[in-house]
Amino acid sequence: MVGVKPVGSDPDFQPELSGAGSRLAVVKFTMRGCGPCLRIAPAFSSMSNKYPQAVFLEVDVHQCQGTAATNNISATPTFLFFRNKVRIDQYQGADAVGLEEKIKQHLENDPGSNEDTDIPKGYMDLMPFINKAGCECLNESDEHGFDNCLRKDLTFLESDCDEQLLITVAFNQPVKLYSMKFQGPDNGQGPKYVKIFINLPRSMDFEEAERSEPTQALELTEDDIKEDGIVPLRYVKFQNVNSVTIFVQSNQGEEETTRISYFTFIGTPVQATNMNDFKRFLNEICSACVIHCPVGLFLKSKLIFQCFFCIMLNQQFQCRKIAKKISLCLTAISWFGPCMDRVTG
């Protein structure tokens, strides 16, 4: 899709994200009469034509109040980045250069632009969820470092002193892993015996990796490391993954060094609610009730009920304005117990 598509109402937002699929969706939250929004509008429109592999949407916070509230929009313009309906990043302000850099960053290895037909329906390439700042690689060559294997080009990762590599990959949110792609050369330097560990509390060294029991051990074949190869994982063991440590023990041809051309993970984000954010959200709502609502003042020790009472009594106070957000509390079953403890404590 070329051009910026306005989202006319709250019910239209999720279908637009669904239509984007695994492509990057850049959503501009704007407001009528907002000076910075008007200033960046021509640049945003130009970017939508310059990067046709992404989907560009525009949401007016007054027309789509529910969507703005759900996404915690507190200022305009705010730009949210989605893939497979999952929010992966945001950018705030009217700096067109900074916004374009953010877009290019997410399109650098855009799996949506290549549409791997061998990825099963319902799963996605998780490269956009890798937190590169939290990754490390031990025994990498100075000339051929770890970053090379995160790009689909002619560069590669190569080990330094011997054939072994110890790679830690961090994700920016919990994910479920279904399989991996491990691409290597056909000259014997591709990886063969691999151990995979998840969610380690600290970095391990080579000696520890050798003796430790992995989450899964792999013996890769030459077909596994071809461009179209996919390496299945034991899905039930990879349900809530924050980090993966990959220990490459050896290569296909017992060569002095190991090379990895490209690797990525296939799966889905967990999309679990961040409970710290949720508690902070409840506290903010209830503080608003205490300040603006007589019922809240009377029940100021009640964590949740002050919000619900305000809605039921149809009070036109601050909490009424954010009733759509407060209604999310009704679905947070796992938090009713702790909240009731605070109500009765």
Reading the block at residue 136, the tokens are: 């490390």
> In whole angstroms, what is the distance from residue 111 CA to residue 336 CA?
39
Count the alpha carbons within 13 Å of 329 in the hemisphere toward its beta carbon.
Answer: 26
Q: Which of 34, 286, 319, 329 is catalytic?
A: 34
Token pair in block for residue 190: 């591709």
Query: How do strand 4-7 and strand 55-60 relate by DSSP bridges?
Result: parallel
Rounded to the nearest 10 degrees, what angle do helices 96-107 and 35-50 cross at? 30
Residue 135 is a catalytic residue? no
The single residue of 37, 137, 286, 310 carrying the catalytic annotation is 37
289 is catalytic: no
Dihedral of alpha carbons 307, 313, 317, 322, sign = positive
Tabulate helix, strand, coil % of the chain (nearest 5).
35, 25, 40
Smallest Cα–Cα separation from 313: which of 332, 329, 299?
Answer: 299
* 112, 24 contact by CB (below 8 A): yes
Confirm if 109 and 147 have CB atoms less than 8 A apart: no
- Report the catalytic residues: 34, 37
